[in-house]
Structure 1
Amino acid sequence: MWRSLCQSLLAVIFFGVVISDLPVNPTDSPHSGSSPWEVRDLAVSNAHFALSFFKQLKALEPGKNVLVSPVSISIAFALLSLGARNTTLAQILEGFRFNATEGWAKAIHDGFCHLGLQVKASNTTLDLGSALFVDKNVKVLESFLTDAAKYYEAEAFPVNFGDLEGVRKQINEHVANQTHGNIPELFQQLNEDAVMISVSYIYFQGEWLKPFDIAHTTEDTFYVRENLTVKVPMMFRSATYKHLFDDQLPCVVLQLKYKGNVTAWFILPDEGKMEEVEAGLSRDTLKRWSTSFDESQLDVYLPKFSISGTYDLRPVLNKMGVRDLFSDRADLSGLSEEKLMLSKVVHKAVLHVDEKGTEAAGATGMEMVPVMLPPSMTFNRPFYIFIFEDITWSTLFLGKILNPTEV
């Protein structure tokens, strides 16, 4: 069945923006003109942000699984930057590692637009989208709505925030439809002072290029930490894999391909070396890995698991320098003539990993194996997962799995 996928990932990020009674002082963007900024440069910025953000978030969630979609967060704030001005805009650019040189604006938005087109053209189920729910009494500038639709295909829905329950149901229904029912109730309640909510989502359902055989999945032990073990369904497959044994960081990396243009890296630190590996994660490390893979026969043991994460991003973004958005200093004069500020930012991500993918991918394949027993790679202790789109190298998901039995 389609529901029994080898991998299903989704993330949703939303904003509640409230009106303050401070005077409005709209200004033009501090940058003008246009200069080329390739989508891979955007991916570099996204990777830099992803790793910085991940390390900040991990500090707020010690001892817990962490799962985020950096590209969905970046898209949401790039969309918001269409209406940001002055210091507010500068903080978004710096916090999200966007290019702030001459001509940045059109180049950044062109990059995300290209990413959206690339995703649509890819041979995989990977959907990116945005929507704005705006109180009917708030005047949103036509220029913002035009650019939001042009670059991000973001729809704007006028709603009555006087009827919070009605708005809540409408947003939840929209999100449920866009995430194929995987997030049926994003909001349990809305803030009474909310006048605009922006929803951005990413949804991915992938089929392994080389699926695991469900008949080979057996219960095994996962070592969460000293004195704590759990039982997990451990998948197994003996095949030819791309992998590397890092000679600079104490870890091994396994590459698994999906059908289409998406790749997953599973990063397994040596026992007791989780923090050292995490400290060494950087753009340069990822680049080095991308050119260092060997390909050979391996016995791979990987747990079947489902995890999720829901985070209030404001503390993390504040630490990364994005502060004015959440205060009366916010300048969103390119979005509305009314004085607005960001009230809340919440990010939700869900990850499911199992053997096969769609039912059509369930056929068992045969591969020649050498007589000598191949080496094994067993993910029976905490590990990282890094998932990216191949063409643009955009970071779709980044996770730290400490306990695969904790949802």
Structure 2
Amino acid sequence: MATIGLTLISALLVLSGQHSIEAYTSSAAFRDTTAIALHNFGVDLFCKLAPNWDRNENVAISPMSMYAVLSILLPGLQGSSYDQVYHALGMSHLDGDGIDRESDMCGLVFQENANYELHRANRIYSDLRVQIKKSYKQAAMTHHKSPVKKVDFVLAPRKSRKKMNRYVAKHTNDEITELIPQEAITQDTKIFLVNAIYLKVLWQTSFIRQATTKANFQISPTRSKQVSTMYTSSARCFFQPNYPSLQSDIVVLPFKGNAMSMIFIVPTSPGNFAPLESATASGDLRQMMEVVWNTHYPEMETCEVHLPKFKVHHTVDDLIGALQLMNVSDIFSPDDADLSLMTTEQLYVSDMRHQAVIKVDELGVKATGATSIGISGRSYPTLVQINRPFMYMIRHEATGALLFMGRIVNPK
């Protein structure tokens, strides 16, 4: 019996250890326990992808976007296909149904907020000859507001591709215009799942545009370059030098209204990302966030901050290999995939693509990834210089959800 390819597309635009076996519990760092599952999934996936990157490559991904695409697929799976994805998403550690919990978290993350602009757009494109089960269509709409749109992949592949790329471009402010390349659509293509995220958010304290200047950035112990570096003398900031388990400095800069924050993890040895991309990284980073948010985050102080301007447009083409390393294999196999709750067609996942664009400037972060806080009474600001390669994360404060992450090795 012929197999049929199912292609998932995850599109994001953004400016701006091992999993435990016990049930997750909420904390100041992760107020929604689904955010813990998202964090572990995102960091684990990042670490599985890292060996494929050039050592000087700037990276941007959206864990939230990829988590959402797999969650949209989940109600269509059965048997071990379902179990493998469910466990990889960390949903087995949640109280209650994981799909419901993920939907609830997304409802909180994407609700309207005066402090930022954050939108999502989900859509399922199905070849007009494929019959999608009513129960799956209802689940996709209920949990992810993801309608099914009919296209003709067989007789009108170019028109179908143009339609899907136009949809992604519209919902990423025209930053991602060619997510789906021509070769992605074949005679076996039956379904595309598309997810797009757009974020625009301002810093709590803007950088002074006139003060941006060229400054030294130490790419490695033996290599440096001059890069455009932003400056502010009065940012509210959390700074922890030389955090032991990560061998890095930790910097947290809040966005407007403290609704979101950006975390910078800066290895003390320039360019040494090994502690941040190891097998224990998700646990080490999670522990760091627990320590910072549970005990130290309220102790923000006035800081003099130097931060490179940068823009990254990053494409991930090897998601399948990374997910296979996370024990998700059946859905990629023509023989083993079970998508029978989606359609009676014999489908398997033949392709996964992800793009992210992140731009950080003096005003804030623009994607195309409130509690009062006291300021320390220092008479002079703490000097914070982010002048070495770093990992970054953007998180939603009310839930702890990890929206975007990446690394900057060579700011451009």
Q: Give the structure-1-normalised TM-score.
A: 0.83
Structure 2 match to 1:395 = 402
Instruction: Determine if contact 1:213/1:236 at 8 Å carries over to the other structure.
Output: yes
Q: In structure 2, what is the equivalent of residue 381 of structure 1?
A: 388
Q: 1:171 aligns with which of 141, 145, 164?
A: 164
The equivalent of 1:191 in structure 2 is 185
Q: Aligned residues, how many?
A: 363
For residue 50 of structure 2, the aligned residue among 43, 58, 67 is 58
> Contact 1:299–1:374 (CA<8 Å) still a contact in 2?
yes
* Structure 1: gaps of 5 or more residues: 1-14, 19-35, 359-367
Distance 2:95 2:378 in 1: 60
1:242 partnered with 2:238: yes
* Contact preservation (8 Å) 1:175, 1:183: yes
Please say which of residues 291-300 and 142-151 is displaced more in the overlay.
Answer: 291-300
Report the AA paired with residue 265 of structure 1.
I
Q: Tell me by how many angstroms 1:278 deviates.
A: 4.5
Amino acid at match of 2:185: N
Question: Which residue does the alignment assign to 2:61?
Answer: 68
CA distance in 2, matches of 1:172, 1:401: 27
Q: How is 1:5-404 mapped onto 2 (pairs within 5 angstroms)?
A: 17=6, 40-63=32-55, 64-99=57-92, 103-104=96-97, 107-123=98-114, 124-162=116-154, 163-189=156-182, 190-192=184-186, 193-239=188-234, 240-249=236-245, 250-260=247-257, 261-272=259-270, 273-279=272-278, 280=281, 281-291=284-294, 292-293=296-297, 294-312=299-317, 313-328=319-334, 329-357=336-364, 373-404=380-411
User: One-letter code of the match for 1:300?
Assistant: V
Separation of aligned partners in 2, 1:112 and 1:67: 24
More displaced 10-residue stretch of structure 1: 295-304 or 212-221: 295-304
CA contact (8 A) 1:93 1:100 kept: no
Residue type at the aligned position of 2:312: I
Aligned partner of 1:32 in structure 2 is none
Q: 1:102: how far off?
A: 8.1
1:150-171: CA deviations, max 9, x gaps? 1100021100112110001100
The residue identity in structure 2 corresponding to 1:274 is F
Q: Deviation of residue 209 (structure 1)?
A: 1.6
Task: Report the Cα offset of residue 357 of structure 1.
Answer: 4.7
Look up the equivalent residue of 1:17 and give its one-letter code: L
Q: Which range is displaced more, 226-235 or 244-253? A: 244-253
Instruction: Give yes or no for contact 2:50–2:277 (8 Å, CA) kept in 1.
Output: no
Assess if the C-alpha contact under 8 Å between 2:305 and 2:385 holds in 1.
Answer: yes
Q: Distance in 2 between matches of 1:185 and 1:155?
A: 22
Q: Give 1:299 shift.
A: 1.4
Q: Quick one: structure 1 residues 357 and 289, their matched pair in 2 at CA, closer, same or farther if it must change by over 3 Å? A: closer
Contact 2:118/2:200, CA 8 A, preserved across alignment: yes
**Contact residue 78 and residue 109 of structure 1 kept, 8 A:** no
Structure 2: runs of 5 or more not aligned: 8-23, 366-374
One-letter amino acid of the counterpart of residue 348, structure 1: Q
Give 3-state SS (helix, strand or coil) of 1:120's partner.
Answer: coil
Report if aligned partners of 2:153, 2:185 keep a CA contact under 8 Å in 1: no
Instruction: Please report the TM-score for the alignment, with normalisation by the length of structure 2.
Output: 0.82
Deviation at 1:309? 1.5
Is the Cα contact below 8 Å between 2:34 and 2:101 reproduced in 1? no
Q: 1:37 to 1:160 in 2, by over 3 A?
A: farther
Shift in Å at residue 100 of structure 1?
6.2
When residues 56 and 94 of structure 1 are mapped into structure 2, their CA distance, relative to the original with a 3 A threshold, is: same
Q: Which amino acid aligns with 2:292?
A: W
Superposed CA offset, 1:343-363 (max 9, x none): 1001111110000159xxxxx
Structure 1 residues 317 and 376 mapped into 2: Cα distance closer, same or farther (>3 Å)?
A: same
Give the distance between the partners of 2:83 and 2:266, measured in 1 at CA: 37
CA apart distance, 1:16: 6.1
**Cα distance, 1:384 vs. partner?**
1.1
Q: Distance in 1 between matches of 2:70 and 2:88?
A: 10
Please tell me whether the aligned partners of residues 88 and 324 of structure 1 are also in contact (alpha carbons under 8 angstroms): yes
How far has the Cα of 1:117 moved from its partner?
4.6
1:205 partner amino acid: K
Partner of 1:21: none
1:203, distance to aligned residue in structure 2 (A): 1.1
